[in-house]
Amino acid sequence: MARQPVVAGRAEHLLGSAVVATAPVAGGDICTAVKLRLSTGRTAFLKTLSPAPPQFFAREAAGLRWLAEAAPAGVATPELLAVDPECLILEWVEPGRPSAEAAAAFGRALAATHATGASSFGGDADGYVGRLPLPNQPLPTWAEFHAERRIAPYLKVLRDKEILSAEEADLIETAAARAPSIVPEEPPSRLHGDLWNGNVLWTAGERVVVVDPAAYGGHREVDLAMLALFGLPQLPQVMAAYTEAAPLTDGWEDRLAYHQLFPLLVHACLFGGQYGARAARVAQRYL
């Protein structure tokens, strides 16, 4: 590890500890990430974005703190070491191999995090999913929140940019309006909100740590659908342990694709129309 003076200086200012060495970390497509070795012997993870959108890192930090309230039974999050408007510093998580035992423990921990609950469907402030704004103003029911806060904003972007055809957009809008007849009513759960494979870290200590939350109060099947969307190692073990700890209403497997409409629209906004077309095909199944 060499030492990048600018990055090291920023970290030293925030942490009050000397940075001995730094090394770039691959994997993110939004922020620049760096591994820090501190004079205390500790290792940390820094990510930065300049200029960052307003409250970008503050909202991530708030999400990590909110999820950490479910400890010790809930899903582990890295310790938050420092945050400022253009930077976030976390404890370093040493990567390991996915194991069936860690997967089962993760499933039980995720159930405990969800069970910690939320005061409403939504949150106390808007946030971000990836680099896109994430509206979180509360609404009385999950069906309303899903349609108005998770589908409509991104569908509008895709319509305005003509990434989706009018027919595809209408299919998705119609399917979103059918949530009351598709998704069983439940109290709001404490969601990670962006729980895809890349935000699930398998550690050398055979535990799972989650990062990069877009946390809010929502339907717990949403986090499970995100885990399934892009493939998670040991997913059957995670799901089995989850449903043993917190049984789901019958038919949940068939509803996972419905909950994937939102992340597919987000991906269409970020990466292109193939995700929008996929969302339209999913929507067709629920009409």
Q: What percentage of the chain exceeds 90 in pLDDT?
A: 94
- pTM for this predicted structure: 0.96
Closest C-alpha to 42, from 93, 96, 95: 93
Q: Where residue 206 falls among pLDDT bands split at 50, 70, 90? A: confident
Q: How confident is the model at residue 212 (pLDDT cuts 50, 70, 90)?
A: very high
Which is the catalytic residue, given 124, 160, 194, 250? Answer: 194
The Cα–Cα gap between 49 and 47 comes to: 7
CA pair distance 182, 287, nearest whole angstrom: 10
Average pLDDT of the residues of the chain: 96
Q: Distance between CA atoms of 147 and 164, rounded to whole angstroms?
A: 17
CA 193 to chain centre: 4
Q: How confident is the model at residue 143 (pLDDT cuts 50, 70, 90)?
A: very high
- The verdict on whether omega for the bond into residue 85 sits within 30 degrees of 0, i.e. cis, is no
pLDDT band at 26 (very low <50, low <70, confident <90, very high): confident
Cα dist from 107 to 58, 116, 156, 196, 207, whole Å: 28, 15, 35, 14, 11
Tell me the pLDDT band of 30, cut-offs 50, 70 and 90: confident
CATH of 5-91, one of 3.60.10.10, 3.40.50.720, 3.40.50.11810, 3.30.200.20: 3.30.200.20
Residue 121 near residue 93, CB atoms below 8 Å: no
Query: Quick check: is 124 catalytic?
Result: no
Q: What percent of the chain has pLDDT over 70?
A: 100
Residue 185 per-residue DSSP state: P
pLDDT band at 9 (very low <50, low <70, confident <90, very high): very high
- Residues counted in the chain: 287
Work out the average pLDDT over 258-262: 98
Q: List the domain boundaries for the chain.
A: 5-91, 100-284
Residue 106: pLDDT above 90? yes
Average pLDDT value for residue range 170-197? 97
More confident position, 285 or 3: 285
How far is 234 from 110, CA to CA, in rounded Å?
14
Mean pLDDT across 193-207: 94
**Band of residue 28 on the pLDDT scale cut at 50, 70, 90:** confident
Q: Give the pLDDT band of residue 1 (cuts 50, 70, 90).
A: low
pLDDT computed for residue 205 by the predictor? 86
- Its CATH architecture, for the domain 100-284, is Alpha-Beta Complex (3.90)
**E strands along the chain, which residues?**
19-25, 32-38, 43-48, 80-84, 87-91, 127-129, 132-134, 189-191, 200-202, 208-210, 216-218
> In this model, does residue 261 exceed pLDDT 80?
yes
